[in-house]
Amino acid sequence: MGNFWPEALDAIMYGHLDNTMLNVLDTADLKGILDINWYLYNYTSFKVRTDINASLELLSGLVSTYVKQDKIAAFYVMDEPNIHQFSNAEIESGIASLKQFFPNVPAYIVFAEHCFDPSFKCPTNVPAAQRGIPSNVDWVGFDWYISGGNLWTDLQTQVIDGIQLLSKLTNKSIVLIPDALSLFQSEAVLMEIQNFYFALAYQYPNIIGLDFFLWGDNNKGSPPFNGLHTMTGLRAVTRAFGREVRKQCGQTPDVIPILEYAIISQDYYYNMVLARLSWIRICSSRS
């Protein structure tokens, strides 16, 4: 029957950036990070799309029609690039094409674990010489999925050590990824973790924001997890941090832009729910 997976992926990705979502962003009191990786890269060949100019013309048309460009905080260009077998040359080529269309919008990338360091034993087939931090990316982050029994030790050795290593390797802006805030932890522990990350954001001057997510198994738990609104304590902690960010940015602190959504993806084993919040300091010296 042939392989139609690339066409299916295109349809899925292009459907994410519809006019309704962009109109909401255009009228809301917030900026948005737009995930556009499928507009740039082919995940079957691990290379830049052969039709990247046409793809970016489509993206440019959507943006110019439905949302002011200054409402876009950044473009999320790649998630865990080396895990997905992309070399720096391919990543940089995609970003270079993107910047021809959007020269003033930051390009944002998140690495798996410490794969931003070529000497790190990264689970990938990409040689170390072809890995590292792309030269033309603007914002960098990394995730680790901490949910085991040695939580606070892991936060030190994997997160704090990772921030320090990343800061030595680059002077680019860092986005913290309070990742894997999963339902393997109680809400009280999740609140502690969130406050831990908030403190880190203040401690390091090159950290410009936080982009945290919550995974939960929708079939388990009592009650089942159906979004961050079910975790009122964690939501309150995050809203309080948002007020502080807006206050420091000279914005109205009582207007709290919570970026929250759920994605249900059913496979053979799980229905998973993802709730994601982002706070980016787009003011002062951390812009």
- pLDDT in 10s for each residue of the chain, 287 residues: 333 333 433 433 444 566 777 777 777 766 778 888 989 999 999 999 999 999 999 999 988 888 888 888 889 999 999 999 999 999 999 999 999 999 999 999 999 999 999 999 999 999 999 999 999 999 999 988 765 567 888 888 889 999 999 999 999 999 888 864 555 677 788 888 888 888 888 888 888 888 876 655 444 545 555 555 567 787 788 777 777 776 766 665 544 443 433 333 332 222 333 344 455 544 433 43
Could you tell me if 127 and 155 lie in one domain?
A: no
Q: Does residue 149 sit in the same domain as residue 105?
A: no
- Tokens 């401690």 correspond to 203
The verdict on 215 and 106 lying in the same domain is no
Domain count, the chain: 2
Whether 73 and 162 map to the same domain: the answer is no
Domain boundary residue, one of 123, 141, 159: 141
Cβ atoms within 10 Å, residue 9: 14
Chain centre to alpha carbon of residue 56:
20
pLDDT for res 90: 97
Same domain, yes or no: 137 and 148: no
d(CA 99, CA 122): 28
- Residues 162 and 281 occupy one common structural domain: yes
Q: Are residues 215 and 77 part of one domain?
A: no
Specify the residue for token string 């349809």.
11
220 and 108, same domain (yes or no): no
Which of 116, 141, 166 lies at the terminal end of a domain, its last residue? 141
Q: Are residues 29 and 64 in the same domain?
A: yes
Q: Which of 87, 120, 141 is the last residue of a domain?
A: 141
Residues of the domain holding 228: 144-287
The model's pLDDT over 84-141, given as tens digits with 9 standing for 90+, comes to 999 999 999 999 999 999 999 999 999 999 999 999 999 999 999 999 999 999 999 9
Please tell me whether residues 284 and 244 are part of one structural domain: yes
191 with 224, same domain: the answer is yes
Q: Which pLDDT value is given to residue 251?
A: 64
For residues 67 and 83, give the distance between their C-alpha atoms in angstroms, rounded to a whole number.
Answer: 32
Where helices occur in the chain by DSSP H, the ranges are 5-16, 19-27, 37-40, 52-66, 88-101, 151-154, 161-169, 187-203, 232-248
Do 21 and 137 share a structural domain? Answer: yes
Cα–Cα nearest to 178, from 287, 34, 33, 278? 278
